[in-house]
Structure 1
Amino acid sequence: MALRSNPTLRQRRLGAELRRMREQAGLGGSQLARALGINPAHVTQMESGKTGISVERLRTIAALCMCVNEPLIEALAEIITDRDKGGWWEEYRGRLAQHFLEMAEIEYGAHGLSTYTMAFIPGLLQTTAYASAVFARGFPRLPPHEVDLRTAFRMKRQHVVRSGKTPYSAYIHEAALRMQFSGPKVQAEQLGSLIEDSERPSISIRVVLFNVDTLPVNHENFTYLEGPIPELDTAQMDSGLDSMLYDAPAHTAQFRSLLKRIDSAALSEEESREFIQSIKKDMERNYG
């Protein structure tokens, strides 16, 4: 079987979970290879996502690693079963950086999404004009065709939450509500769109006010993506230059704890709608 030159995010995650399973059993790669009757290099390739495995081999590895977490095994088997199903984002491969595609892929497979943003409205809730303005303000400046491409991609990503397919909780800092990327008119339209989205049954929008001074958040913007089971949860954080993914249990536990603290500090959904409406009215007075 030819090695994959560019494994997908789900393929790499499957490999990472196989490695975690082996390490928790205290087995080295060579030990597992001997038990399976394969070359040690093959184990490395499986754990990097560069070669696939069958569901039968997954169950063999789980047994050899003394893994009795049946929900995890079933969830990994589902990844294997779905490995050949391409998503809409594949049409952008070779046109956008890999991390754009990976974010769309992991959002599509998530069972629940939560975001916290301080600098801008969450991408999954941005209007076309607002998203275009955000991309256009980058440094160095992107050419217009790149701005249009990224904006179109972001709009397609939004289907996962606007369709009601995936429950979505957005925690938005007051700073993001007031930050203008293309003047008060675009911002007011964006705030109006937020109010409309907050009425959707599958979308929760909560505001964190400036006067909340005890929030222990070192990350300005992050997304928490729930897998079919907690062991397959993932956190994503923007670094400004790239997108970083965290799936180690210690990391996901930290992000879950952060979300609980943010949830306790945020306004209620109704209070948030009223607060966003008040800022919208201020913006409208600036261009009305």
Structure 2
Amino acid sequence: MALRPNPTLRQRRLGAELRRMREQAGLGGSQLARELGIQPAQITQMESGKSGISAERLRTIASVCMCTNEPLIEALANMASERGKGWWEEYRSTLTIDFLEVAELEGHAERITFCNTVYMPGLLQTRAYASAVFARIVPSLPPQEIETRTAFRLRRQEVVRSGATPLRAFIHEAALRMQFGGPVVLVDQLAALLEDSERPGISVRVVPFNIDTFPGAGENLIYIEGPVPELDTVEMDVSQGALFFDSPANLAKHRTIFSSLEATALSEERSRDFIRSIMKEVTSTHA
């Protein structure tokens, strides 16, 4: 079977979990290869995501590695059995890989949680707001690139609009006040956020300036839950693109951050009142 030249994020994650399983068993790649009766290079290829693996072989590896975590094994076997491509593959020749990997994560998520300090969560942005966010990138993007990125972001929102994937958003007051595209765009965005907060499966909670302690750093974070906790992923938005973290230590750290947000953010109803007050303030200031 030909090797994959560019394995997807999900294929690489499957390989990383196989490597983690092997290392937890204290086995080297050559030792595992000997147990399976294959070449060591094949272990390297599977663990890098460049080579596929059957669900049967995955279960054999789990047995050799003395893994008894049945929910994890079953989830990995399901990943190994996946066939077909997601809708985001249509954009592979027009957008950078970061965009596709974010959509791939969201497309397989059990729940998505945002922590935003600068701008609204991408899955809750209006067309005008999203376009303005992309328009402020330095160096400037050509109009067609802005339109492609905006259309892709709106397509991602179908995941949430369908109600199939629950979404929680913890939004700092700074992000609610930051203007992209001017006050009219902001007011329309806040109105859309209020409407979304009433949708089934969507929770919007505000973290105001007067909260004593804001957990974590100031990055925009996304916590994407998998079918089992071991397959969760943290995404961090930075100016250069998206960074992904899935080590047990990183997952534990960010679970603590989001647990703190859960305890300190305003309730959903008080958050809606807070958003309405900002809308009123912006409208009166720029009337």
Which category describes the TM-score, using the shorter chain as reference length? over 0.9
Matched, 1:71 2:71: yes
The AA in structure 1 aligned to 2:52 is G
Amino acid at match of 1:214: T
Which consecutive aligned stretches of 4+ in structure 1 deviate over 3 angstroms post-superposition?
Answer: none
Check whether the contact 2:12–2:49 (CA below 8 A) recurs between aligned residues: yes
Q: CA deviation at 1:214?
A: 1.4
Cα displacement (A) at 1:286: 3.5
Q: Distance in 1 between matches of 2:57 and 2:152?
A: 37
SS at match of 1:166: coil
* Aligned-partner residue type, residue 7 of structure 1: P
Report the secondary structure of 2:112's partner residue: strand
Does residue 212 in structure 1 map to residue 211 in structure 2?
Answer: yes
Letter paired with 1:229: V
Alignment of 1:108-257 (within 5 A): 108-257=107-256
Give the whole-Å Cα distance in 1 for the aligned partners of 2:150 and 2:240: 17
Question: What letter is aligned with 2:7?
Answer: P
Stretch moving more, 278-287 or 230-239: 278-287
Unpaired stretches in structure 2, ≥5 consecutive residues: none
One-letter amino acid of the structure 2 residue matched with residue 241 of structure 1: Q
Over aligned residue pairs, what C-alpha RMSD do you find? 0.9
Deviation at 1:250, TM superposition (A): 0.7
Residue in 2 aligned with 1:10? 10
| Corresponding position of 1:32 | 32
CA–CA distance in structure 2, aligned partners of residues 119 and 213 of structure 1: 19
Residue 166 of structure 1 and its aligned partner are, at CA, apart by 0.5
Shift of 1:281: 1.4
Displacement, 1:201?
1.6
Secondary structure, aligned partner of 2:222: strand
Residue 287 (structure 1) shift: 3.9
SS in 2 for 1:205: strand
Deviation at 1:151, TM superposition (A): 0.3
The answer on whether the counterparts of 1:184 and 1:286 sit within 8 Å (CA) in structure 2 is: no
Q: What percentage of residue pairs aligned between the two structures are identical?
A: 62
Instruction: State the 1:216 CA deviation.
Output: 2.8
Shift of 1:176: 0.5
CA displacement 1:24-53 (0-9 Å, x = unmatched) = 000000000111111111100000000001
User: SS in structure 2 opposite 1:50?
Assistant: coil
Instruction: Compute the displacement of 1:206 (Å).
Output: 0.2
Shift of 1:213: 3.1
Take 1:141 and 1:43, find their aligned partners in 2: how far apart are those partners? 44
1:85: which partner in 2? Answer: 84
Instruction: Give the alignment's TM-score, normalised by structure 2.
Output: 0.98
How many corresponding residue pairs? Answer: 287
* Aligned partner letter, 2:126: T
8 Å CA contact retained: 2:169, 2:204: yes
Aligned partner letter, 2:269: E
Deviations 1:146-194 (A, max 9, x none): 1000000000001111211101000000000100011110000000000
Structure 2 SS opposite 1:200: coil
- Paired letter, 2:9: L
3-state SS of the aligned residue for 2:45? Answer: helix
Write the letter of the residue equivalent to 2:48: S
8 Å contact kept, 2:219–2:238: no
Secondary structure of 1:129 counterpart: helix
Secondary structure, counterpart of 1:152 in structure 2: helix
Supply the distance in 2 between the matched residues of 1:193 and 1:156 (Cα, whole angstroms): 16
Structure 1 counterpart of 2:273: 274
Cα deviation, residue 217, structure 1: 1.3
The normalised TM-score by structure 1 is: 0.98
CA contact (8 A) 1:219 1:237 kept: no
Q: Structure 1 stretch 155-164 or stretch 23-32: which is displaced more?
A: 155-164
